[in-house]
Amino acid sequence: MKYDYGIIGGGPAGYTAGIYLAQKGKSVIIFEKDKLGGTCLNRGCIPTKSLLHSSEIYKEVLCSSNIGLDISLNSFDFSKVMAKKEQTVEKVRKSLELAVKNSGAAVVYSEARIKDKNTIIAGDNEYSVSEIIYAAGSIPREITGLNFDHEFVLTSDDVLNINNLPRTVLIVGSGAIGIEWARIFSNFGVEVFVSEIAEHLLPIADIEVSKRIERIFKQRKIKYFLNDSIEKIDKKTVTLKSGTVVNPDFILFAAGRIPLKPAIDCTVLGDSCGEIQLAHYAIHQAKKYALGIDYDKSLIPSVIYGEPEIAWVGLREQDCGEECQKILLPVTALGKSWCDDSTDGFIKLILKDKLIVGAHIVSKEASALIHELIIAMQNKLSIDELKQVCFAHPTYSEGIFEALIRI
């Protein structure tokens, strides 16, 4: 049988394109060498959020005396935390598999390679397709001298399969993966060290976001080393270039991912493009390809989870000149933050010609708040128009109004 589309990779880009193309009446076959959902569902976004949620509950129980509860932690079984993570992934995956099946797209669970522009080989079979979509994703970045042995030097994939919590861990890199795992381990009482080669933690973020994360890490006794990297490893003794010596149970190397590229010229979606390595970006690339729904590439939000959440979109302060205006509202100005014991953070807006051109949030619910601002930015709503919106009280959303009213 000949298919209209052959899609290599069943991650967010691949399955999204497959579902919508099939719903439009096209014959689609998806090749996935592992499990549908790709890195995001199986080894990234979903399992880490499950672990993060469990770690935050653990931390809240230990601090429950603050609200008058007398709870004794008689036992803790980390294996059940990992089991709950697997159950969550499995439930989401089954829902995805059903959605793909109901769309009419076929799935072949086998590693695929491209023979030519109209032929894909998987296993012992050849499949004829009119068009190929390559959405094979990315793999953890590895650097010379710090090769993964999957026992002491772990990838972000490996760490999802540990059987026991470490006593001490060294995390290399402070992007989204590094920050979230530092929070997970710290919440569970693990001693955490973070090595970052740049001048600040989370170097891709606005400078005030980076500085706030550094302050939060200090408060939580997460030790970090800036302008630093690994000099040598002797058994389980790690020496940084600064001379600092750390003896972790293992190293989590979280310094980015490398896109997998196709062997021939074809349509490429998702991480394989080597552009913005975010699941929601991959999904919107696929929607544009399959449905013609456009998006503004400059308004793709970034979110880092945990307490408090971190989210941003648009220009950073360090990207702007004197023509931009900055306004910053501490979340301590919001009654809801005191009710929730979540007073560490801020809402920061960057304005130009009465329009919001950048938004940076460190706060509970930041992952939701950022979308309110994206809608305003994408539709070029002026600050005068936004001031007319009635925000409910008490909420974190009203912080947007409270920030704007100060102008």
Which pLDDT score, from 0 to 100, does residue 217 have?
98
Domain ranges of the chain: 2-140+257-291, 153-253, 302-404
Q: What is the DSSP letter of 270?
A: G
CATH fold of 2-140+257-291? FAD/NAD(P)-binding domain (3.50.50)
Which pLDDT score, from 0 to 100, does residue 141 have?
87
Which residues in the chain show pLDDT less than 70? none
Which pLDDT score, from 0 to 100, does residue 321 have?
84
DSSP 46-112: HHHHHHHHHHHHHHHHHTGGGGT---------HHHHHHHHHHHHHHHHHHHHHHHHHHT-EEE-S-E
Which pLDDT score, from 0 to 100, does residue 73 have?
76
pTM: 0.94
**Burial of residue 226, with CB atoms counted within 10 A of its CB: 0-12 exposed, 13-18 middle, 19 or more buried:** middle
Which pLDDT score, from 0 to 100, does residue 64 have?
79
Name the token pair of 83.
């089991």
* Closest to 191 (Cα-Cα) out of 154, 158, 166, 213: 166
Which pLDDT score, from 0 to 100, does residue 75 have?
80
Round to whole Å and give the CA distance between 401 and 393. 11
Cα within 13 Å of Cα(89), Cβ side: 24
Angle between helices 12-23 and 78-103 (to 10 degrees): 30
Architecture of domain 153-253: 3-Layer(bba) Sandwich (3.50)
Cβ distance 378 to 361 under 8 Å?
Answer: no
| CB proximity list for 326: less than 8 A, separation 6 or greater | 317, 320, 348, 349, 350, 351
Round to whole Å and give the CA distance between 165 and 101. 38
Which pLDDT score, from 0 to 100, does residue 271 have?
96
Which pLDDT score, from 0 to 100, does residue 1 have?
78
Say whether 302-404 and 2-140+257-291 share the same fold.
Answer: no
* CATH, domain range 302-404: 3.30.390.30
